């Protein structure tokens, strides 16, 4: 596998992303109430972006399992703070009579957005990695650049969220 890791070792490293998400989920209500959905969502996107930087550094230097775990944990925490405040802001701006349509639209956006991002990153990997059995770390540079750009796009979108959630008067 990549960086000389077995599939099991790589899987355990990736698990830290889910752990990062799980650690932040219970705090989202408090954080959103205290700082607002824009700050929480944008902060999460920024944290997810910053978590890719150690991987960009490791491409030119040496792989560190410790930095990978820390970065993946922070990526999970950041990604976990983007969605819920964004969806809360979206639902709060919709009149009660339109919630069913909004729910369908948001569900479609979520179900399509993730696979599109994954497909984009897989396409970048397939175009930049020549030997899939012995890929060198430098071959993943464009993949991490693309991932960084996706996080920056999420950050830009999150900065357009309302600062605070105000429920529609039709609720």
- pLDDT-derived band at 3, boundaries 50, 70, 90: low
Question: Residue 102, SS3?
Answer: helix
| 142 within some domain | yes
Q: Looking at residue 142, which CATH number applies to its domain?
A: 1.20.1250.20
**Average pLDDT of the chain?**
86
| 163 within some domain | no
- The boundaries of the domain holding residue 122 are 2-158
| 10 within some domain | yes
Say how far apart CA 112 and CA 60 lie, in whole Å. Answer: 33
Q: In terms of Cα–Cα distance, which of 8, 140, 122 is closest to 63? A: 140
| 148 within some domain | yes
Q: Could you tell me the two tokens for 167? A: 């429920």
Half-sphere exposure of residue 86, counting CA atoms within 13 Å on the CB side? 21
pLDDT digits (tens, 9 = 90+) for 107-141: 888 888 888 988 988 998 888 887 766 667 788 88
Let me know: does 13 contact 1? Beta carbons within 8 Å: no
| 170 within some domain | no
pTM over 0.75: yes
Average pLDDT over residues 84-88: 86
pLDDT surpasses 70 at 67: yes
Q: Could you tell me the two tokens for 141? A: 């540079």
Residues 6+ apart with CB under 8 A from 143: 121, 124, 125, 128
Q: In terms of Cα–Cα distance, which of 144, 155, 153 is closest to 45? A: 155
| 141 within some domain | yes
| 168 within some domain | no
DSSP code string of 20-87: HHHHHGGGHHHHHHHH-HHHHHHHHHHHHHHHHHHHHHHHHS---HHHHHHHHHHHHHHHHHHHHHHH
Q: How many domains are contained in the chain?
A: 1
| 83 within some domain | yes
């Amino acid at each position: 596998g990549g960086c000389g890791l077995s599939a099991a070792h790589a899987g355990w490293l990736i698990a830290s992303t889910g752990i990062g998400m799980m650690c932040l989920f219970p705090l989202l209500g408090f954080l959103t109430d205290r700082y607002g959905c824009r700050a929480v969502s944008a902060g999460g996107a920024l944290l997810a972006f910053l978590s890719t930087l150690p991987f960009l550094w490791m491409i030119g230097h040496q792989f560190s399992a410790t930095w990978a775990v820390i970065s993946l944990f922070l990526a999970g925490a950041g990604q976990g703070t983007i969605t819920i405040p964004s969806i809360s802001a979206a639902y709060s701006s919709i009149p009660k009579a339109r919630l069913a349509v909004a729910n369908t639209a948001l569900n479609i956006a979520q179900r399509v957005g993730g696979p599109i991002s994954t497909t984009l990153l897989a396409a970048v990997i397939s175009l930049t990695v020549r030997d899939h059995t012995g890929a060198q770390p430098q071959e993943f540079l464009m993949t991490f650049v693309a991932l960084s750009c996706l996080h920056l796009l999420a950050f830009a979108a999150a900065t357009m969220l309302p600062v605070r959630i105000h429920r529609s008067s039709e609720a």
